[in-house]
Amino acid sequence: MTKFIRRLQKIGSSILVSLPKEWVIANNLDKGSQVELETGQDSVSISANKEMRPTKEVVISYPLPKDENIVADITGAYLLGYDIIQITSKLIIPGENREQIRNSMRRLVGMEIIEEDASNINMQFLLDATTLNPEKILKRISSIALGMYDDIANGLISLDKSNLQTLAKRDVEVNRQYFLLVRLIRSTLVDKRLANIFNLENIDILDYRMAANLLENAGDTIVELANYIYNSTLPQEHLKKIFDLVKNFNILAEKSIDSFIKSDRHLAIEAISLHKKYQANLLTLRSTIENKKQIPTEILDLLYMFERIAKSWADVADLVKPVYNK
């Protein structure tokens, strides 16, 4: 990237600045040409023919080299922001492998197969990134995971635990939204237009990446915990004790997400304080159990997993920048 210094000039009531001749020529501009201006808090960027942004395409040759994985390749291309992914083969792509490719597509929001024959599969991302919203996607990830959390908490005291077996399928949607958000924020890092639309600085984009990762991990832990509770042989009285401590988790989680999205440090402190109380209650129960040898250690495992989940949301709140006195 080449930098130029220009002085502002005043002509009539307008403030003007000249464009570098080299840049004008390189972009085939002339008198009357239109350029796009994007303003930030302390910056202005000028783009030529922004609407003509080239489509990013990648070609994956099939079959893949040894130890490569078609699902990983497709997912990687999606996360890197490729608009078109072409899978080409000199031979017929076997039905089993074709189904594997289709299954990988179901994990990627906005990516659809647009052309297909015996030896080729072409996919395209059909959503306009400018219509997406990182805040809404992060909230959706949190909402889905929080609904899963409610079900595992209720599963502690419910006689019918069959619902716990459905959580793995719901976690698939958490992963889909997570991939979409990662794709969007990676695109934002290399496209100032998106950064300005979403009003995000680079540090904000990285924080979104971390927040999304924390919630995605929480979803995985919830599925692990659901299986643990489903197969548990603990007496109901022990499970009830844990339920009484973890049932009112929603307030903590919702304050964490709201504080992050609003960049509200005071709200974040409230969420972190709630987490400390949650943590202290689990620690008290753990200490009580450890002093009673007849209590199964399986309870300690449950408490540990609940704490891991709660910490994910608390860590999101901890990403909110402190307020410094000027």
Looking at the chain, which runs of residues are DSSP E strands?
9-11, 14-16, 35-39, 44-48, 57-62, 84-89, 111-116, 120-125
> Could you tell me which of 259, 247, 248, 231 has the C-alpha nearest to residue 318?
259
Q: What pLDDT shows up at residue 68?
A: 84
Q: Are 249 and 282 in contact (CB under 8 A)?
A: no
Question: How do residues 103-147 score in pLDDT, each as one tens digit?
Answer: 888 899 999 999 999 999 999 999 988 889 999 999 999 999 999
pTM greater than the 0.95 cutoff: no
18 located within any domain: yes
Of 125, 149, 171, at which residue does a domain stop? 125
Q: 219 and 179 in contact (C-beta within 8 Å)?
A: no
17 and 158 co-located in one domain: no
Residues 41, 101, single domain; the answer is no
One domain, residues 165 and 39: no
Q: Are residues 72 and 180 in the same domain?
A: no
* pLDDT given at position 10: 63
Among 213, 83, 206, 198, smallest CA distance to 134 is for: 198
Total tally of structural domains belonging to the chain: 3
- Residue 280's pLDDT is 95
For residues 177 and 120, state if they share a domain: no
Whether residue 135 sits in one domain with residue 179? yes
CATH number of the domain residue 177 falls in:
1.20.58.220
The pLDDT score that the predictor gives to residue 217 is 97
Q: Are residues 121 and 184 in the same domain?
A: no
- Any domain includes 173: yes
Is residue 34, in this structure, part of any structural domain at all?
yes
Residue 24 lies in a domain: yes
How confident is the model at residue 13, as a pLDDT? 56
CATH code, domain with 66: 3.30.110
Which amino acid, residue 198? Answer: F
Domain that holds residue 112: 57-125
- Check residue 299 and give its pLDDT: 85
Which regions in the chain score pLDDT beneath 50? none
Among candidate residues 52, 212, 241, 67, the one with its CA nearest the CA of residue 142: 212
Cα(118)–Cα(94) distance, integer angstroms: 8
For residue 324, being part of any structural domain is answered with no
265 and 300 fall within a common domain? yes
27 and 144 both lie in a single domain:
no
Backbone angles phi, psi at 292, to 5 degrees: -120, 100
**CA distances to 174, 312, 315, 322 from 165, in Å:** 16, 22, 28, 41
Residue 68 sits in the same domain as residue 155 = no
Give the integer Cα–Cα distance in Å for 25 and 30: 8
Residue 237 placed within a domain: yes
Quote the pLDDT of residue 325.
Answer: 61
Q: Is 95 exposed, middle or buried (0-12, 13-18, 19+ CB in 10 A)?
A: exposed
Residue 4 belongs to a domain:
no
What are 222-255's pLDDT values in tens digits? 999 999 999 988 888 889 999 999 999 999 999 9
Last residue within a domain, chosen from 102, 125, 148: 125
Residues 73, 42: one domain?
no
The per-residue pLDDT for 51 is: 52
Domain closes at, from 71, 92, 125: 125
pLDDT of the residue at 80: 92
Same domain assignment for residues 121 and 134:
no
Using alpha carbons, select from 173, 172, 180, 176 the residue that is nearest to residue 79: 180
* pLDDT reported for residue 260: 97
With beta carbons less than 8 A apart as the criterion, state whether 137 and 177 touch: yes
Q: Please indicate, yes or no, if residue 43 is contained in any of the structural domains.
A: yes
